[in-house]
Amino acid sequence: MSQAPFPGAYVPAVALQTGNFTTPWILWLGQFASQPGAPVPVVPTGSPFTYKASGPGALSISGGTVSARSFTRGGVTVPYGARVIPMVHGDVATITYSAAPTIYFVPG
Protein backbone atom coordinates (compact mmCIF):
# COMPACT_ATOMS: atom_id res chain seq x y z
CA MET A 1 0.00 0.00 0.00
CA SER A 2 1.41 3.38 -0.95
CA GLN A 3 1.07 6.39 1.27
CA ALA A 4 -1.36 9.07 0.05
CA PRO A 5 0.06 12.61 0.14
CA PHE A 6 -1.22 14.94 2.82
CA PRO A 7 -3.72 17.32 1.14
CA GLY A 8 -2.49 20.38 3.02
CA ALA A 9 -4.15 23.31 4.70
CA TYR A 10 -5.35 24.93 1.46
CA VAL A 11 -7.35 21.92 0.24
CA PRO A 12 -10.87 22.05 1.68
CA ALA A 13 -11.73 18.94 3.69
CA VAL A 14 -15.47 19.28 3.05
CA ALA A 15 -17.23 20.45 -0.13
CA LEU A 16 -19.54 23.34 0.72
CA GLN A 17 -22.10 22.29 -1.92
CA THR A 18 -22.57 18.73 -0.65
CA GLY A 19 -21.15 18.62 2.86
CA ASN A 20 -19.08 15.54 1.85
CA PHE A 21 -15.35 15.05 2.27
CA THR A 22 -13.33 16.01 -0.81
CA THR A 23 -11.43 13.33 -2.76
CA PRO A 24 -7.90 14.31 -1.61
CA TRP A 25 -8.97 14.04 2.02
CA ILE A 26 -10.86 10.77 1.45
CA LEU A 27 -7.72 9.23 -0.07
CA TRP A 28 -5.47 10.51 2.72
CA LEU A 29 -7.78 9.46 5.56
CA GLY A 30 -8.57 6.09 3.93
CA GLN A 31 -5.00 4.85 4.33
CA PHE A 32 -5.49 4.77 8.10
CA ALA A 33 -8.57 2.55 7.86
CA SER A 34 -7.18 -0.05 5.46
CA GLN A 35 -5.81 -3.36 6.68
CA PRO A 36 -2.27 -4.42 5.78
CA GLY A 37 -1.90 -7.39 3.46
CA ALA A 38 -1.39 -11.01 4.45
CA PRO A 39 2.12 -12.38 5.12
CA VAL A 40 3.99 -13.16 1.88
CA PRO A 41 6.37 -16.13 1.67
CA VAL A 42 9.89 -15.18 0.58
CA VAL A 43 12.01 -17.90 -1.04
CA PRO A 44 15.74 -17.51 -0.35
CA THR A 45 17.76 -17.99 -3.53
CA GLY A 46 21.20 -18.65 -2.07
CA SER A 47 23.43 -17.55 0.75
CA PRO A 48 23.91 -14.74 1.47
CA PHE A 49 20.32 -13.83 0.57
CA THR A 50 19.18 -10.20 0.38
CA TYR A 51 15.63 -8.91 0.60
CA LYS A 52 14.67 -5.33 -0.26
CA ALA A 53 11.42 -4.08 1.28
CA SER A 54 8.92 -2.54 -1.12
CA GLY A 55 6.93 -1.01 1.75
CA PRO A 56 6.62 -0.99 5.53
CA GLY A 57 6.45 -4.29 7.40
CA ALA A 58 8.61 -6.92 9.06
CA LEU A 59 10.72 -9.78 7.78
CA SER A 60 10.19 -12.97 9.81
CA ILE A 61 13.03 -15.52 9.70
CA SER A 62 12.62 -18.97 11.31
CA GLY A 63 14.22 -22.39 11.11
CA GLY A 64 17.17 -23.29 8.93
CA THR A 65 20.75 -22.75 10.00
CA VAL A 66 21.33 -19.00 9.99
CA SER A 67 24.80 -17.74 10.85
CA ALA A 68 24.25 -13.99 10.34
CA ARG A 69 21.55 -11.39 9.80
CA SER A 70 22.18 -7.75 8.91
CA PHE A 71 20.08 -4.74 8.11
CA THR A 72 20.86 -1.79 5.81
CA ARG A 73 19.10 1.57 5.85
CA GLY A 74 20.42 4.79 4.34
CA GLY A 75 23.68 3.12 3.35
CA VAL A 76 24.45 2.02 6.93
CA THR A 77 24.62 -1.74 7.61
CA VAL A 78 24.33 -3.16 11.12
CA PRO A 79 24.23 -6.75 12.41
CA TYR A 80 20.75 -7.78 13.53
CA GLY A 81 20.30 -10.56 16.07
CA ALA A 82 16.50 -10.81 16.19
CA ARG A 83 14.50 -13.19 14.01
CA VAL A 84 12.04 -10.41 13.10
CA ILE A 85 13.43 -7.38 11.28
CA PRO A 86 11.20 -4.28 11.09
CA MET A 87 11.53 -2.64 7.68
CA VAL A 88 10.38 0.35 5.63
CA HIS A 89 10.50 0.95 1.89
CA GLY A 90 14.04 0.52 0.56
CA ASP A 91 15.52 -1.24 3.60
CA VAL A 92 17.64 -4.31 2.83
CA ALA A 93 18.00 -7.41 5.01
CA THR A 94 20.86 -9.84 4.37
CA ILE A 95 20.68 -13.40 5.69
CA THR A 96 23.63 -15.80 5.63
CA TYR A 97 22.77 -19.48 6.09
CA SER A 98 23.92 -23.04 5.46
CA ALA A 99 20.39 -24.52 5.57
CA ALA A 100 17.64 -22.29 4.19
CA PRO A 101 15.30 -20.68 6.75
CA THR A 102 11.59 -20.06 6.29
CA ILE A 103 11.06 -16.38 5.54
CA TYR A 104 7.89 -14.27 5.41
CA PHE A 105 7.41 -10.57 4.79
CA VAL A 106 4.54 -9.29 6.93
CA PRO A 107 3.21 -5.98 5.54
CA GLY A 108 2.39 -3.41 8.11
Strand partners, 102: 62
Indicate where the chain has its CATH 2.60.120.1300 domain(s): 40-107
Looking at per-residue pLDDT, the higher value among 15 and 75 belongs to 75
Looking at per-residue pLDDT, the higher value among 67 and 8 belongs to 67
For the stretch 79-107, pLDDT in tens is 999 999 999 999 999 999 999 999 999 99
For the stretch 36-66, pLDDT in tens is 789 999 999 999 999 999 989 999 999 999 9
pTM (whole model) above 0.85: no
**2 has pLDDT over 80:** no
Its CATH class, for the domain covering 40-107, is mainly beta
